[in-house]
Structure 1
Amino acid sequence: MSATPPPAWRVVWWFGFVSLAADMVYEGARSVYGPLLAALGASAVVVGLVTGAGEAVALVARLAFGPLADRTGRYWSLTIAGYGLTAVCVPLLAVAPRLGAAGLAFATTMILLERLGKAVRSPSKSALLAHVASGVGRGRGFGVHKALDQVGAFAGPLVVAAVVAVASLWWGMAVLAVPGAAAMLLLLTLRRRVPDPSVYDDTPPSPERPGPAPRSGWWAQAVGAGLPAVFFRYALAASLTTGGLVTFGIIGYHLVTEGLVPVASVPLVYAGAMAVEALAALGVGLAYDRTGPQVLLVVPVLVALVPALALGPALAAVLVGVVAWGFAQGVQDSTVKAVVADLVEPARRATAYGVFAGVQGLLAIIGGVGAGWLYERSLVALVVAVALTQVVALVLLADTLRRSARLRRAG
């Protein structure tokens, strides 16, 4: 390790390049999960269940891995292990059609394991990035990281689309082994160059040395004992938008089963959504640093619009709905996290990110299954159900942000 750490902005970009390569892998795969599962015999309910459960695993399991990171201080180890699961499991989807009747079960397992990798790494990675981003402005730091992340999320589906067009859906999964290997190489290099990102923060313990053992037990930590009440109100408000946002698996399934686009075009639609997500993350991140968290009030509005547009019969309206989906997704996965870092002290951030994601995950699986069930029965009922949840989310989010602002002024 050199005596002088690299500039904070450079490290933010390095973290972004790791995410760029990794996102090529799992976002490339996610772009075709709907058609992929349908090709293995899945119905819309099964697609909603698998994709919703995948998001739930990626979120709920952080209840365990957030406190584990804070207790052990092994932020880097957990980050590397999580990325490793993604790099391995996604390319293995290529063998699913060769397994006959077991193909759907195998693909489901690989999807869930890949999402488990997201849960393993995300609290630790977010805690590491929060240290570094404090040196550049957390809204901008998380926003720039998310924008780079989304470059990979844009490129991955394009690669998959090209391979599907000239070969097959399954070869599209196999080629994702290449960016997976690149992500692991970049991550290991970053770990060697910057073993202690806490040097960029004002009040950190070293991320590789655990702090004093907490008085409460592991379960109490996992459910957020001692975290501020305003954090839990915020987690519930944000999670209602997560549960209400229909998964792209359902949107992709709709595009193919309704004959709106061929299978090879679904990743192109997803790539467009990823481009919107990148711009949203960057723009809202900058606005967050300038105007505060009130910019997040746009998210419930966008989430409410998605099913009415993206699950309709007209391709033009569907594409507008996909834009709304990408914008909402971009804010949910970037600037929303910056608020958590502002509400919770550094020593509890990984735990807070785990709890936050756990609440999101519980609502994600309910939303995923519910969306798939309602999609097969009544699109009107689905639109109304999402709209009602987002009214609640908007009211709760606005109230929570007001309470948070009063606490900051009082402090």
Structure 2
Amino acid sequence: MDSLKKNAYRLIILLGVVSLCGDIVYEGARSVSGPYLFILGATATAVGLVSGVGEFIGYALRILSGYLADKTRRYWFFTGIGYGMLASIPLLAFAGYWQIAAVLLVVERAGKALRVPARDTILSYATKQVGRGWGFAIHEAFDQIGAIVGPLIFCVAASLKCDYQQGFYILWVPVACTFVALITARFRFPKPERLETATQDKESKSDGRLPNTFYLYALFTFLSVIGFVNFQVLSFHLKNCAVVSDATIPLFYAIAMGVDAVVALVIGRTYDKIGLKAIFAIPVLTIPIPFFAFTKSHALALVGIILWGMVMGNHEAVMRAAVADLTPLARRGTAYGLFNTLYGVGFLLGGGIVGLLYDKNLISIILIFVVLTQVISILALFLLMKTLKR
């Protein structure tokens, strides 16, 4: 293995550790945010909208942060500021009203908006050396270790008869670890762009503008995400209908994150071999989720959660990898920002629509909505594939 590839792996692993620690924080909170807001007095519509607004802000601001990161080339700066805003999560322990908790959850999402385009751009430089799908999959695997540990903190806390506030106190520890890992990565690789040169990138064949194929891909992303039921609404259903105990809800989320990590590694390798064809798995796996999850059966709900984790694994690995393959180097941050903005719009609309339909007990309409959006997304992906062959 040459030194360039070794350094690429080192950077991927260091960023993976950063994400691992960060995920312990925000995925731990995410696993209980639905029930926590419910306890503080929120309705299903409010939970869906808080989740949707949070995700929207967390993605909508990325178009600006991505552009600024490209413009200033200060990718580490934006990554650091964004991770610093993780401190809002432990502060949830002091939220006495659901509105205050909602603001803190949204603040964390805004922090993610600042860091992700810059971080993914840094990561994309390294993945050029080891394979886009595989590199992003390794990062996602680290990410999901944290996503498993975070929910388990609340699972253990609930089994020990501790409340959610005590679980949030514990999250100060991984917040501190996140900063240590990030500082190490920053000083070890101050100029990560050296891992990918312009002559290796598509820029040699491009004037630096985002190609039309990228916009078709962004359309597919929006359509597939709008019909992807978020975990907050799923967990609200589990709590509202007493499908499982309070301690089991974060355990379900941890299971989903474990599935996410394994699927990401498999689909990442698959993507490097067959390209965009691997992405067809996303709508195919998304369609059956509500059919299983919105039941009162413990076993069927678990199947729905496992499918949800499989789709997340695809989202975090191959969806991000494809962006790097479809865009020129100089516009990479902007591309990730725009891609994630549309992803966030899909979450906002999807979360609000599904939450509203659930409040009105229109489960059958939710099922139809999910199927239609995924079928249309498949058509958009076929159009993209056809365009790329020209």
TM-score normalized by the length of structure 2: 0.94
Tell me the distance in 2 between the aligned counterparts of 1:170 and 1:65: 32
Deviations 1:355-397, CA, capped at 9 Å, x for gaps: 1111111121010000001112210000001110110001111
Deviations 1:212-244, CA, capped at 9 Å, x for gaps: xxx9xxxxxxxxx94211111100101211111
Residue 270 of structure 2: aligned partner: 287
Once the two structures are superposed, the pairs formed by residues 229-248 of structure 1 within 5 Å of their partners are 229-248=212-231
| Aligned-pair CA distance for 1:401 | 2.3
Tell me the distance in 1 between the aligned counterparts of 2:249 and 2:4: 47
Residue 190 (structure 2) aligned to one of 188, 195, 211: 195
Once the two structures are superposed, the pairs formed by residues 252-267 of structure 1 within 5 Å of their partners are 252-267=235-250
Residue 211 (structure 2) aligned to one of 228, 246, 253: 228
Tell me the distance in 1 between the aligned counterparts of 2:323 and 2:24: 26
Tell me the distance in 2 between the aligned counterparts of 1:61 and 1:175: 29
Amino acid at match of 2:351: G
2:127 is the alignment partner of 1:133 = yes
Residue 32 of structure 1: aligned partner: 32
Once the two structures are superposed, the pairs formed by residues 12-411 of structure 1 within 5 Å of their partners are 12-86=12-86, 88-97=87-96, 103-166=97-160, 167-203=162-198, 226-377=209-360, 378-404=362-388, 406=389
Tell me the distance in 1 between the aligned counterparts of 2:345 and 2:233: 18
Deviations 1:86-125, CA, capped at 9 Å, x for gaps: 1x0100000013xxxxx21110000000001111000000
Amino acid at match of 1:316: A
Deviations 1:2-38, CA, capped at 9 Å, x for gaps: x999621121111111101100100000000110100
Contact 2:221–2:342 under 8 Å retained in 1: no
Tell me the distance in 1 between the aligned counterparts of 2:186 and 2:125: 14
Tell me the distance in 1 between the aligned counterparts of 2:323 and 2:343: 13
Gaps of 5+ in 1: 98-102, 206-214, 216-224
**1:230–1:265 distance in 2 versus 1, CA, 3 Å:** same
Residue 220 of structure 1: aligned partner: none
Please state whether the residue corresponding to 1:266 is helix, strand or coil: helix
Contact 1:344–1:352 under 8 Å retained in 2: yes
**1:4–1:96 distance in 2 versus 1, CA, 3 Å:** same
Deviations 1:150-175, CA, capped at 9 Å, x for gaps: 11101111112112332111111121
TM-score normalized by the length of structure 1: 0.90
Tell me the distance in 1 between the aligned counterparts of 2:180 and 2:186: 10
Percent of aligned pairs with the same residue?
39
Tell me the distance in 2 between the aligned counterparts of 1:79 and 1:8: 18
Tell me the distance in 1 between the aligned counterparts of 2:113 and 2:26: 13
Contact 1:247–1:368 under 8 Å retained in 2: yes
Tell me the distance in 1 between the aligned counterparts of 2:264 and 2:175: 23
| Aligned-pair CA distance for 1:402 | 2.8
Matched pairs, number: 380
CA RMSD of aligned residues (A): 1.7
| Aligned-pair CA distance for 1:204 | 7.9
Tell me the distance in 1 between the aligned counterparts of 2:303 and 2:336: 31
Please state whether the residue corresponding to 1:263 is helix, strand or coil: coil
Amino acid at match of 2:84: G
Please state whether the residue corresponding to 1:341 is helix, strand or coil: helix
| Aligned-pair CA distance for 1:291 | 1.4
Amino acid at match of 2:247: A
Please state whether the residue corresponding to 1:31 is helix, strand or coil: helix
| Aligned-pair CA distance for 1:202 | 2.6
**1:352–1:204 distance in 2 versus 1, CA, 3 Å:** farther
Contact 1:161–1:267 under 8 Å retained in 2: yes
Tell me the distance in 1 between the aligned counterparts of 2:216 and 2:4: 40
Tell me the distance in 2 between the aligned counterparts of 1:327 and 1:125: 23
Contact 2:33–2:232 under 8 Å retained in 1: yes
Gaps of 5+ in 2: 201-206
Tell me the distance in 1 between the aligned counterparts of 2:182 and 2:175: 11
Please state whether the residue corresponding to 2:89 is helix, strand or coil: helix
**1:204–1:266 distance in 2 versus 1, CA, 3 Å:** farther
| Aligned-pair CA distance for 1:180 | 1.1
Residue 204 of structure 2: aligned partner: none
Amino acid at match of 1:95: F
Contact 2:70–2:334 under 8 Å retained in 1: yes
Moved more, 118-127 or 157-166: 157-166
